[in-house]
Amino acid sequence: MLGGTRYRPRLTDGELAPLPLSVSLFRKLNHISWPLEVGVSGRTTNLERLILIIGFLIFCVNNEAEFYYLIVNRNDIYNFLTGMPTYLILVEMQIRCFQLACHKSRFRSLLQRFYKDIYVQEESEPLLFANIQRQMRRTRLVSIVYLVALFNFLQVPVQNVIYHRRDMLYKQVYPFDNTPLHYFIPLLGLNFWVGVIITTMIFGELNVLGEMMMHLNARYVQLGQDLRRTTQRLLREANQLEMAASYRRSLTHILRRNGALHDFGAEIEKDFNFRVFVMFAFSAGLLCALSFKAYTSPLGNVAYIVWFLAKFMELLSFGMLGSILYQTTDDLGLMYYTAGWEQVVHQSNNLQENLRLMKLVNLAIQLNSRPFFLTGLKYFRVSLAAVLKIIQGAFSYFTFLNSVR
- Please report which helix (H) or strand (E) contains residue 48, including its range: helix 42-72
The DSSP output letter for 120 is: P
Q: What pLDDT, on the 0 to 100 scale, is given for residue 404?
A: 72
Q: What pLDDT, on the 0 to 100 scale, is given for residue 398?
A: 85
Q: What pLDDT, on the 0 to 100 scale, is given for residue 294?
A: 83
Between CA 195 and CA 157, with CA 151 as vertex, the angle to 5 degrees is 80
Each residue's pLDDT, cut to its tens digit, for the chain (405 residues) gives: 565 689 999 999 989 999 999 999 999 999 999 999 998 888 999 999 999 999 999 999 999 999 999 999 999 888 898 899 999 999 999 999 999 999 999 999 999 999 999 999 999 999 999 999 999 999 999 999 999 999 988 889 988 889 889 999 999 999 999 999 999 999 999 999 999 999 999 999 999 999 999 999 999 999 999 999 999 999 998 888 899 999 999 999 999 999 999 999 999 999 999 999 999 999 999 999 999 888 887 766 788 899 999 999 999 999 999 999 999 999 999 999 999 999 999 999 999 999 999 999 999 999 998 999 899 998 999 999 999 999 999 988 888 877 776
Taking phi over 0 as left and psi of -120 to 50 as alpha, with beta for the rest, 134 belongs to alpha
Q: What string of DSSP letters covers 331-362?
A: THHHHHHTSSHHHHHHH---HHHHHHHHHHHH
Q: What pLDDT, on the 0 to 100 scale, is given for residue 318?
A: 96
Q: Are 264 and 118 in contact (CB under 8 A)?
A: yes
Q: What pLDDT, on the 0 to 100 scale, is given for residue 95?
A: 97
Nearest of 43, 49, 47, 60 to residue 101 by alpha carbon? 49
Q: Which pTM does this prediction carry? A: 0.94
